[in-house]
Amino acid sequence: MNELGQDEQVAPRSSRAHEEIKLLELLQLPLQYKRLIFGSALTAALLAGGISMLLPNVYRAEVLLVPAQSENSKNGNLGSMLGGLGGLASMAGVSLGGGGSADESLAVLQSREFLWKFVQEKHLLSVLFERSRMDEWFDVEVAQRGQWDVYRLFISSGKLSVTRDKDTGIVTMALDWKDPALAARWANELVASLNQYLAEQAIGRSERNLHYLNEELMRTPVEEMRKTIFDLIASEQKNAMVANTQKDFAFKVLDPAVTPDRKAKPKRLLIVILAAFIGGFLAVFYIYIKDGIRRSREEGAICDPTLLR
C-alpha cells in the first residue's frame, strides 16, 4: 500500500513538472525566433512608412461658433398664442413657430441639400473631385457627380465634422483638406452660407405666416381674436426683420478659421509604430501556431507507433 501511495504521489509531481517544462518552453519560444519576429516587425514598419509617405498631408481648419440669440427664440412658439388657429395653420401647411434650434441648424449644415447647394454656388466640383484613374476606368466625368458624392466626400469620409459642448453650447466646426488655405476659406464660407440659407428659409416662412394671418384677420369678426392675430402679425414681422438684417442669423462666429500651419494627418510615426507592433504580433502568432502543429504531430506519432516506422 505504501509503495502504491508513493507511486500515486510521484505521478502527479512528474505531471506537474512536465507541464511546467512545457510552459517554460512556450515562454522561451519567441526568444528562439527573435530574428524572425524582429524582421517581421521591421518589414511591416518599413512598408507602412513607405505607404504613409505616399499619403498627402491633410490640414484641419476650425471655426468656433455660438448659437445666435434671435428674436425668434425669444418670442417662443407663436402657435400656442392662437390655440385652435395654430392647429388650422399646421393643417394648411403653415408653421407659426419661431426659428429652428441649434441642433436643427447643425443638422442642416450636414445635410445633402445644403452641401450640394454650397458646392454648386462656389463651383467646387472640379476642385473637390479631381479626375482619378478610377474615374477614367469607369468613364465618370466630374460634371456627373451628384448630391450623394458630395455628401460622402464631406460627411461619410469625415472631412466635415461638428462637435457641440453641452455645457457651454459652443460649436466647433472642423474641415479637413489637403490645401490649408482652401480648408480655412471653405470653413468660413460654410458658416456664412449656412446663416444666409437659414435666413432665407426664415424669411420665406415668415412671408407664408403673414399671408395666412392676414387672411385669418379678414375672416375673424371676434375682437379678442383679432387683437391676438395683430400681435402675431407684429411678432412675425419682427422675425422677418431679424432674418433680413441679422448677419449671424443662426450662429455667431467667435473665432474664424485661419490657415493651419501644421498638418492634422497622417500621423506617420504612429502608423509606423502600430505597423511594427502588428507585424511582430503576427510573427509571434505564426510561431505558436507552427509549434502547436509540430507538437500535435509528435503526440500523434507517439500514440500511433506505426507512424514511427
> For residue 187, what pLDDT is reported?
96
195 vs 24: which has the higher pLDDT? 195
| Residues 6 or more apart whose Cβ sits within 8 Å of residue 271 | 48, 49, 52
> What number is the average pLDDT over the span 111-132?
88
For the ranges 16-25, 64-73, 259-268, which has the lowest average pLDDT? 16-25
pLDDT exceeds 50 at position 19: yes
By DSSP bridging, strand 58-67 and strand 263-265 are: antiparallel
81 vs 303: which has the higher pLDDT? 303
pLDDT exceeds 60 at position 8: no
| Residues 6 or more apart whose Cβ sits within 8 Å of residue 285 | none
pLDDT tens track for 241-251: 877 777 888 89
Cell of 46: 518599413
141 vs 294: which has the higher pLDDT? 294
> For residue 288, what pLDDT is reported?
86
Closest alpha carbon to 31 in 249, 292, 277, 287: 287
CATH class for the domain made up of 57-265 = alpha beta
Res. 239 pLDDT band, cuts 50 70 90:
confident
Q: How far apart are CA 206 and CA 221, in angstroms?
A: 24
Query: Do 98 and 77 touch, CB atoms closer than 8 A?
Result: yes
In sequence order, the β-bridge partners of residue 255 are 64
pLDDT tens track for 79-102: 455 454 555 455 444 555 544 588
Q: How far apart are CA 176 and CA 263, in angstroms?
A: 10
Q: How far apart are CA 256 and CA 183, in angstroms?
A: 12
Sequence-distant contacts of 223-231: CB under 8 A, at least 24 apart: 225/85, 228/81, 228/82, 229/82, 229/85, 231/81
> For residue 305, what pLDDT is reported?
54
- For the chain, what percent of residues have pLDDT higher than 90? 39
> For residue 254, what pLDDT is reported?
94
pLDDT exceeds 50 at position 109: yes
pLDDT exceeds 60 at position 171: yes
pLDDT exceeds 70 at position 18: no
Closest alpha carbon to 242 in 90, 75, 48, 60: 75
60 vs 288: which has the higher pLDDT? 60
pLDDT exceeds 70 at position 111: yes
For the ranges 2-6, 138-142, 257-261, which has the lowest average pLDDT? 2-6
> For residue 142, what pLDDT is reported?
67
DSSP letter string, the chain: -HHHHHHHHHHHHHHHHHHHHHHHHHHHHHHHTHHHHHHHHHHHHHHHHHHHHHSPPEEEEEEEEEE---HHHHH--GGGGTTHHHHHHHHTT---S-PPPHHHHHHHHTSHHHHHHHHHHHT-HHHHS---HHHHHHT--GGG--HHHHHIIIIITSSEEEEE-TTT--EEEEEEESSHHHHHHHHHHHHHHHHHHHHHHHHHHHHHHHHHHHHHHHH---HHHHHHHHHHHHHHHHHHHHHHH-SSSSEEEEE-----SSEEE--HHHHHHHHHHHHHHHHHHHHHHHHHHHHHHHHHHHH-GGGG-
292 vs 150: which has the higher pLDDT? 150
Mean pLDDT of all residues belonging to the chain: 80
> What number is the average pLDDT over the span 52-57?
91
pLDDT exceeds 80 at position 170: yes
Cell of 293: 502543429
> For residue 32, what pLDDT is reported?
85
pLDDT tens track for 175-209: 999 999 999 999 999 999 999 999 988 888 888 88
What Å distances lie between residue 3 and 8, 12, 16, 105, 234, CA to CA?
9, 15, 20, 87, 109
279 vs 91: which has the higher pLDDT? 279
| Residues 6 or more apart whose Cβ sits within 8 Å of residue 214 | 233
Q: Model's pTM, two decimal places?
A: 0.69
pLDDT exceeds 60 at position 12: no
Query: Do 67 and 166 touch, CB atoms closer than 8 A?
Result: no
End-to-end CA distance of the chain: 40
> For residue 143, what pLDDT is reported?
66
